[in-house]
Structure 1
Amino acid sequence: MRILHVNKFLYRRGGAEGYLLDLAALQRDAGHAVEFFGMDHPENLPMRYSRHFPAHVEYEPTPAAVSARLALAGRMLWCRSAQRGMAAVVDDFAPDVIHFHNIYHHLSPSVIRAATASGATLVMTLHDYKLVCPTYRFLDQGAICTACVHGGLRQAPLRRCKDGSLAASALAAFEVGAHRLAGAYASLDALVCPSRFLHGQLTAAGIHRDRLVHVDNFTSVDVPQRAGAGEGIVYAGRLSPEKGIDVLIRALARLPDARLDIAGDGSSRAALVDLADAAAPGRIRFHGRLDTDRLRLLLAGARVSVLPARWLENQPLAVLESFAAGVPVVASALGGIPELIEPGPCGALVPPQDPAALAAALGDYLADPDRARVHGHAARARVLAQHAPAAHLRAITALYGDIRATRSPAAVETPA
C-alpha cells in the first residue's frame, strides 16, 4: 500500500509524533510506501514533500497585535495553504491510505477536505480529547473537567477554562463547534482511540460513534532490559503542570535516600529545578530531552518509573516504554492509565496530587528489590502480549483493509 501520514509536527516532539514515526517505520519495513505531510518546522526530519508544507507558526505565546491574532484564528479554523499543499502531495503520491494524527490549529481540518476526493481510505488516530474538549486535555485552569462531554461546548466560555480568558475560551469552543457544523471530520472512515477511556468519552458526547475504533498503542520491545532490580526512580515525559512533576518532587522529599532522574523538557522546567533544589537538594537530575537510545538506557537502569499525572492521560507511551524495559510503574489513577497498570502485577496506582501516597508507593519498590524484579517481569510480559509492534501493525493494516473492502465494488450488493 501507499500510505501518507499527516501530522502538524514531523519530529520526535512528543507521544503523538513518536507513535506516527514508529508506525511509519514498521510500515516501511513491511514493504509499504510511506510519506508524510505536515507544517514546515526547523526541527522536522528530512521530508520528500517539505516544499508543499504550510509555513511554520506558533500559537504560544499569543501575539499582542490584534491583526496577528486574527490571522492565527483564521488559520486555526481553515488553513488554505495547508489545503493546497495537501492537495499537491495527494496528487503526486496517490496514496491508498491517508492516516491523520494531530492536525488541529497548525494544519486544520482543511487537510481532510483536500484528501476527500482522492478515493483513499481516511483514518485518524486521536491522541488527545480535542474533538470533545476545546482545550484538548479535559482541564479547566488546571483542574480536571469533562463538562463539555454532557453539557456541550458552551461550557468552555461559561467556565473560562482556557487560561481564565472568556475570549480564548470562546474561540476554542467556536473552533470545535464550527468544524462540527461544517462536517470537517465527516469523510473520515475511522477514528482510532488508543484507550477505552477516550472511546467512552467520545461515545458519551455522541461524537462519530459509528466510526470509533479502539486499538491499543504499541512500543518497541527490542530495547535494553533491566539487569537485576535496578536503582532509583525515573520520570520521562513533558515538563508541564498537568504532568504533576511538582507532586513527584515533594514525594521524593519524603524519601531521604531516594534519587530521581527526570528526562524531558517543557514550560515548567525552570520552576521545577528551583523546587528540586529546595525540596531534595542534590538528589534530582534533569537530563533534558534525550534521544531514544539514551532514554532506553536510563529506563533500563531504574528500579521504578513514575507518572504522577494530574490530568486524564489517554494511553501514555511512557508507561509502555517502561514496561518494555522490565520496569514497573507507579502512576496516578486517572484516565486511561488504569487500563495499563494492574495494581500488584506490574505497578501501582495512587490518587493524583497526593505526595504522601506517591512516596509510599515508590518507597515500597525502593525497599524491596525482589518485588521490583517480579513486577518488572510481569510488566514486560504485558507489553509482549498486548502492545507489541507486530500485533499493532496487524491491527492497523487490518483496519485499513476492512475499510477498503467495504468500498470495493464487489462489496456493494447489487439489487435483485
Structure 2
Amino acid sequence: MRVLLVHKFHKYTGGADVFYLEVGRVLKDHGHDVAYFSTIDSDTLDNAYKDYFVKAPDFKTGGILGQVKAFLKIPYNFEAKKAIGRLLDDFNPDIVHAFGVITQLSPSVFDAVSSRNIPLVVSLNDYKHICPNYKLFHHGHLCEDCKGGTFYKAITNKCSHNSLKFSIASSLESYIHNFLDIYKKNIDLFLFASDFMAHKTEDFWGYNTFNWGKLKNPFKISTRAIEQNKDDYGLYFGRLIEEKGVDLILKALVDNKDIPFKIIGNGPELEPLKNLAIQLNLSNVEFLGAKWGDELEDILYKAKFTVVPSVWHENFPYVILQSFAAEVPVLGSNLGGIPELVSNERGLLFDVNRINSLSSAIRELYDNNLLRKKMGENAREFVLYNFNDTSFYKEILLNYESVLK
C-alpha cells in the first residue's frame, strides 16, 4: 500500500508531530511505501519528498502587506494545494492520511486529494474543526459559544491568543471552511484518539452526519529499566500554559506542604506560577525548566506519581502514556479524553472544580505505597498491551481498509 502522510510540520515540536512521524515509522516498518507532505524551514527533518514541501505563512516579517498575504493563506492556501497536487500525481498513493493542516497548510489540501478520487482519512487531535481557537476553552473557562456556527463569538470573546487580530482571522477561517463544507465533503473517515472528541464533534455537527473511527496515538515505549525504588516526590511535566491547570497543583499542595513536588516545563505561565508558589509559601516545590530525552526520564522514572491537571478537554495527553511506561501512576483531571486513559487501576481522577479533590488524591497516592505500586504496574501493562507497534498497525490497517473497500 502506498500512503501519503500530510501534516503542517515535519519535525518534532509537540505531540501531534510525534503522532504523524510515528505513523510513518510503523507503516514503513510493515513494508508500506510512505511519502510525506508538509511545510519546510531550517529545522525540517530530511526526507526524500522535501522538494514538494511549501513554506508556512510568515506572520512576523514583510510589513503590513506581507502579513496580510500571510493571513489570506490561513483559510485556503492555493500554494499548498498546488504543491500537494504535484506530489499526488507523482507518488500516486492508494490512500492519504492527514493530521494537523490548519494555518500552515490549510484544508485546501483536502480539495486536492478528493479531486483525484483518492481516499482521505484525517486524524483530529484538537477541536479546530468545531472551535475557532481549537481548544473549547478561553480566559480560564470551558466554552462552546460557537456551537451552531456562531463563529463571530470568537471575536467578541477575543479567544484566539487573546488577540483581536488573530480572533478575527480565526473566525473568518471557520466561516469560510463552514461555507465550503471543506471537512465533511472531502473526508472519507475521521479518526479520533478519544471517544470524547468524537462525541463532542457529533454534538456540534449532528449524530450520524460523518464517518468516524478510533485510532489511539502511537507510542514508542522506552527501553529504560523500571526504577524499583522511587524517590520522594510527585511530578508535573509539560508546557506551562493556562489550560494545563498547573496552578491547581500549587493550590492543592497548600494542604500537603510535606510532599516534595517537581515541575518540569517552560512557557508563558512559568513566572506567574513561580510567583504563586511564593505567595502560597510553598518551599516544597521545585521548578526545573524544560527537560527532554534521558534527562526527563531520569526524573520521571523515579517519581512516585505524576499529575495531569488540564482544565480544558485535552484529547490524548502523551504525558500520561510516558508516565504509565515508567510504571508511574497518574492523577488526572476529569475532563476530555483523560478519564479514558486514567482509571482506578492506573491512577486517580479528580474534579477540577474542587481543589480538595486534588489535595486528597495527592495525599492518598503519596501515603499508600502498596496502592501506588500496584497502580504503576497496571499502568505499564496497559501501555505494553495497547500501544505496541503490532496493536497500532492492526488498528490503523482496519481503518484504512474500511475506506479502501
Q: What TM-score do you get using the length of structure 2 for normalisation? A: 0.90
CA distance in 1: counterparts of 2:45 and 2:333, whole angstroms: 34
Aligned residues, how many? 401
1:327, 1:376 within 8 Å by CA — same for their partners in 2?
yes
Partner of 1:261: 262
Out of 99-108 and 209-218, give the one that drifted further. 209-218
Distance 1:56 1:73, change over 3 A: closer
> Which runs of 5 or more structure 2 residues have no equivalent in the other structure?
none
Partner of 2:180: 182
Distance 1:166 1:257, change over 3 A: same
Q: SS where residue 73 of structure 2 aligns?
A: helix
Distance 1:266 1:400, change over 3 A: same
2:58, 2:67 within 8 Å by CA — same for their partners in 1?
no
Partner of 2:308: 307
Q: SS where residue 332 of structure 2 aligns?
A: strand
Q: Deviation string for 1:69-94 (max 9, x for gaps)?
A: 42222010122221222122223322
Partner of 2:124: 126
Out of 240-249 and 262-271, give the one that drifted further. 262-271
Letter in 2 for 1:6: V
CA distance in 1: counterparts of 2:353 and 2:298, whole angstroms: 29
Distance 1:42 1:289, change over 3 A: farther
The Cα shift of 1:150 comes to 4.5
The Cα shift of 1:66 comes to 3.9
The Cα shift of 1:349 comes to 1.1
The Cα shift of 1:102 comes to 0.6
The Cα shift of 1:274 comes to 4.6
CA distance in 1: counterparts of 2:3 and 2:371, whole angstroms: 44
Q: Deviation string for 1:90-143 (max 9, x for gaps)?
A: 233222221111100111012222222444321110010001011100013231
Partner of 2:167: 169
Q: Deviation string for 1:18-61 (max 9, x for gaps)?
A: 111122111111111222211113322212222332224455xx
Distance 1:22 1:108, change over 3 A: same
Partner of 1:110: 108
Partner of 2:134: 136
1:147 aligns with 2:145: yes
1:304, 1:327 within 8 Å by CA — same for their partners in 2?
yes
Letter in 1 for 2:131: C
The Cα shift of 1:285 comes to 3.7
Q: Deviation string for 1:252-292 (max 9, x for gaps)?
A: 3543333333333333334434545664347414241413x
CA RMSD of aligned residues (A): 2.6
CA distance in 2: counterparts of 1:33 and 1:329, whole angstroms: 38
The Cα shift of 1:64 comes to 10
Q: SS where residue 108 of structure 1 aligns?
A: coil
Out of 41-50 and 189-198, give the one that drifted further. 41-50
Taking the TM superposition and a 5 Å limit, the aligned residue runs for 1:12-23 are 12-23=12-23
Distance 1:357 1:225, change over 3 A: farther
Letter in 2 for 1:38: S
The Cα shift of 1:240 comes to 1.2
Partner of 1:29: 29
CA distance in 1: counterparts of 2:297 and 2:46, whole angstroms: 24
Distance 1:225 1:332, change over 3 A: farther
1:223, 1:325 within 8 Å by CA — same for their partners in 2?
no
Distance 1:246 1:41, change over 3 A: farther
1:252, 1:280 within 8 Å by CA — same for their partners in 2?
yes
CA distance in 2: counterparts of 1:401 and 1:297, whole angstroms: 41
Q: SS where residue 224 of structure 1 aligns?
A: coil
Distance 1:151 1:83, change over 3 A: closer
Distance 1:43 1:289, change over 3 A: farther
Letter in 2 for 1:47: N
CA distance in 1: counterparts of 2:13 and 2:7, whole angstroms: 11
Q: SS where residue 121 of structure 2 aligns?
A: strand
CA distance in 2: counterparts of 1:242 and 1:64, whole angstroms: 32
CA distance in 1: counterparts of 2:264 and 2:84, whole angstroms: 35
Distance 1:111 1:394, change over 3 A: same
1:194 aligns with 2:193: yes
Partner of 2:87: 89
Partner of 2:250: 249
CA distance in 1: counterparts of 2:43 and 2:287, whole angstroms: 25
Out of 304-313 and 156-165, give the one that drifted further. 156-165
Match of 1:101 among 99, 122, 125: 99
> Which runs of 5 or more structure 1 residues have no equivalent in the other structure?
406-416
The Cα shift of 1:372 comes to 0.8
Partner of 1:79: 77
CA distance in 2: counterparts of 1:198 and 1:335, whole angstroms: 7
The Cα shift of 1:177 comes to 1.9
Taking the TM superposition and a 5 Å limit, the aligned residue runs for 1:217-256 are 217-228=217-228, 230-231=230-231, 232-256=233-257
1:286 aligns with 2:288: yes
Distance 1:302 1:164, change over 3 A: closer
Distance 1:150 1:336, change over 3 A: farther
1:313, 1:335 within 8 Å by CA — same for their partners in 2?
yes
Q: SS where residue 34 of structure 1 aligns?
A: strand
CA distance in 2: counterparts of 1:246 and 1:64, whole angstroms: 38
Q: What TM-score do you get using the length of structure 1 for normalisation? A: 0.87
The Cα shift of 1:195 comes to 0.8
Partner of 2:47: 47
Partner of 2:390: 390
Out of 17-26 and 346-355, give the one that drifted further. 346-355
Percent pairwise identity = 27
CA distance in 1: counterparts of 2:94 and 2:324, whole angstroms: 34
Q: Deviation string for 1:302-358 (max 9, x for gaps)?
A: 11011111111112121122122221100111111111212x311111122654432
The Cα shift of 1:383 comes to 2.5
CA distance in 1: counterparts of 2:399 and 2:362, whole angstroms: 40
CA distance in 2: counterparts of 1:277 and 1:18, whole angstroms: 35
